[in-house]
Amino acid sequence: MSDAVLDKQVKKPKTRKSKIDPEIGVELSWKTLKTQKQLIFMSVPIALYLIIFNYVPIWGWLMAFQNYRPAVSFGQQEWVGLQQFKFLFSDDTFLLVLRNTIAMSFINLVLGTVTAIGLALLLNEIKLKFFKRAVQSISYLPHFLSMVIAAGIVSTSLSIDGGIVNVVLMKLHLIQEPIMWLSEGKYFWGIIGASNVWKEVGWGTIIYLAAITSIDPSLYEAASIDGAKRFQKMRYITLPGIKATFVILLIMNIGHILDAGFELQYLLGNGLTVDYSQTIDIFVVKYGLAMGNYSLATAAGIFKTIVSVILVLIANNVAKRLGEERLL
């Protein structure tokens, strides 16, 4: 809210030539630097950290254009141009894993966001403190499980030999005999989506609940006086109140759309579902790292990074045009 106000204020002076940075709203000069020297000094270690760990390693991108061999000096590496990228995009498997990655990511993004907001809205309506806390704690506990354990729980629940999912469906007479969930490719994306909801919904809720608490209570009071019912208050106050948080999270998540995950797919996938279960990350491990083909792995990594950056910029731009909060 306050940012938007600030934006409008600084938009006017932007037209005339000035040294005032429109984004920061402070004059950039030696004088400002001097007055803020303590702050700047304190930020030096952070900047160094970023440079050393986030920028220097970009040097390694050069590997994607080589036929990289470990323990051979840089000058002696064989340069192959765009060969690794050509291999990637002509390989059937890569196109398949790209499809799987985007599909699963999209499912996770939509399901994850919708269920998290839904649960947050419901929790917010609960007036009984103890019950609310209990539900919240229980729902975010699975977040702390390691993926290996989570995958074990999922595959046990889906087992045909007494797995809870088959037992329940049989008892409800929805199916005649147990289904081998994990052996059919067509179920795989759904299983991944559902497992992620189970594991992450409580955790995702926390941030929305925090956003809801920051909504001014007087808005609700005013709405009550105007005769708004519970659902109307949700619809017209709570949801718009968390819109900014939602947009920011969405932008951040869109940047991760090519990170559909590794562990869960790796642990739940098998020979029968491989056409649906392999993601880019698994592809990189299998054909890049496991085969000592670091160049191919790097090329796939570069591809991921570039797509992610472009997606974030687009999302940010769209948000800006829609007059929403934005990240950059």
Partner 1 sequence: MHKTAKRSAKAAAAGVLALTLALTGCGSGNNTNTGGKNSATGGNASPAAAGDDTAPVTFSIFMNGPGQQPTPDNKILKQIKDKTGISFNMEFLVGDLQQKLGVMIAGGDYPDILSGDDKLINAKAYIPLEDLIEKYAPNLKKHYGDVWNQIKDESDGHIYVLPSYGVYQGKITEPTYQGPGFWLQKGVLEEMGYPTPKTLDEYFDIIAKYKEKHPEMIGFESLNFDWRVFPLQNPPEHLSGHPNDGAVVVDNNVAQIFADKDMSKTYYKKLNDINAQGLMDKEAFVQNYDQYLAKVASGKVIGMFDQHWNFQDGEKSLISQGKLENTYIGFPLLYPGAEEWYRDRGAVGTNRGFGISINAKDPVRIIKFWDKMITEDWQKTLQWGVKGEDYEVNADGSFYRTPEQRNNAEQTSWQVANKISGMFGYMPKIQGTYSDGNAADAGTQPQEFFDSLKPYDQKILKAYNKKSWSEFFKEPKENNIYFPAYSIVLKDGSPAQLAQSKLNDLMIKYLPKAIMASPAEFEGVWQDYVDRIHKLDIKAYEDRMNEGIQQRIEKWSVK
Residues contributing to the site for partner 1 (CB under 8 A): 37-38, 41-42, 44-45, 67, 69-71, 152, 155, 159-161, 180, 182-183, 267, 270-272, 274-275, 286-287, 291-293, 295-296
Dihedral of the CA atoms 117, 328, 10, 34 (nearest 10)? 130
Minimum CB separation of residue 156 from partner 1 in Å reads 8
Minimum CB separation of residue 64 from partner 1 in Å reads 13
- Using CA atoms, how far residue 185 sits from 13, 91, 272, 324, in Å, is 59, 21, 7, 39
Closest to partner 1 by CB, 201 or 297: 297
Closest to partner 1 by CB, 185 or 241: 185
φ, ψ at 20 (rounded to 5°)? -80, 125
Closest to partner 1 by CB, 51 or 328: 51
Minimum CB separation of residue 28 from partner 1 in Å reads 21
Minimum CB separation of residue 223 from partner 1 in Å reads 44
Closest to partner 1 by CB, 30 or 130: 30
Minimum CB separation of residue 155 from partner 1 in Å reads 7
| Contact between 27 and 19 (Cβ < 8 Å) | yes
| Contact between 142 and 199 (Cβ < 8 Å) | yes
Closest to partner 1 by CB, 23 or 78: 78
